[in-house]
Amino acid sequence: MTAPLAFLERPADEVAPLLLGALLTGRGVSVRLTEVEAYLGEADPGSHAFRGLTPRTRTMFGEPGHLYVYFSYGMHVCANVVCSPAGTASAVLLRAGEVVDGIELARERRPTAKTDAELARGPARLTKALGMVLGDDTAPLDGAPFALEPAPHPSPVAAGPRVGVSGEGGTDAFPLRFWIPGDPTVSPYRAAVPRRRVTPR
């Protein structure tokens, strides 16, 4: 890992606020990160790695400074930055950002966006704007096709519960979502929808 990315060798909840304002560049587009979520591996019921090492979560247990990319609901590509030392599954979900370079290309990739603020507002929209695909899982963040540049100076930070994670809505017990307050590219908060129990007959 290159020296500028050494800060990723910390737990996700420490890395996440430091990623706000960082620049992620890939396939002709650069996005300034404005919203992220921390996932703490085997200690975190909301994490894919909560039940340990599996073929799907192997990347999360790997070296920091790589992408963990997965399908959400079988159709949307979402991306995380792997952090913490190897062997500890810790990652930060990239939830939203502002396209600051390659905007015409991002518009081509996201033709349904009504405004430029919507181009990378939401985890699946962000990956689409960057041209990211499932095969980018394990890609390093210090070169091609993707490069992460730390923020040049600290950004203002707001924190709260993660989006759509059961048991966190309406509480401050899991303040693992971080965003730049007032930024128009931050996605709207939606609490998890409780699953209805079917009463046996």
- State mean pLDDT over 36-45: 88
Distance CA 175, CA 53 (A): 25
pLDDT digits (tens, 9 = 90+) for 75-103: 799 999 999 999 999 999 999 999 999 99
Distance CA 156, CA 90 (A): 23
The region of weakest confidence among 66-75, 81-90, 136-145 is 66-75
**Cα separations (Å) of 195 from 28, 44, 167, 190, 198?**
41, 20, 11, 15, 9
> How sure is the predictor about 168, in pLDDT bands with cuts at 50, 70 and 90?
low
What pLDDT sits at residue 172?
46
Domains of the chain: 3-144+156-179 (3.10.300.10)
pLDDT(4) > 90: no
In one-letter notation, the amino acid at residue 149 is E
pTM of the predicted protein model? 0.88
> How sure is the predictor about 199, in pLDDT bands with cuts at 50, 70 and 90?
very low
What pLDDT sits at residue 198?
47
Distance CA 41, CA 50 (A): 5
> How sure is the predictor about 72, in pLDDT bands with cuts at 50, 70 and 90?
confident
- Of 150, 151, 168, the residue nearest 159 (C-alpha): 168
Contacts of 113-119 with CB under 8 Å at 24 or more apart are: 117/184, 117/185, 118/185
pLDDT digits (tens, 9 = 90+) for 106-137: 999 999 999 999 999 999 999 999 999 999 99
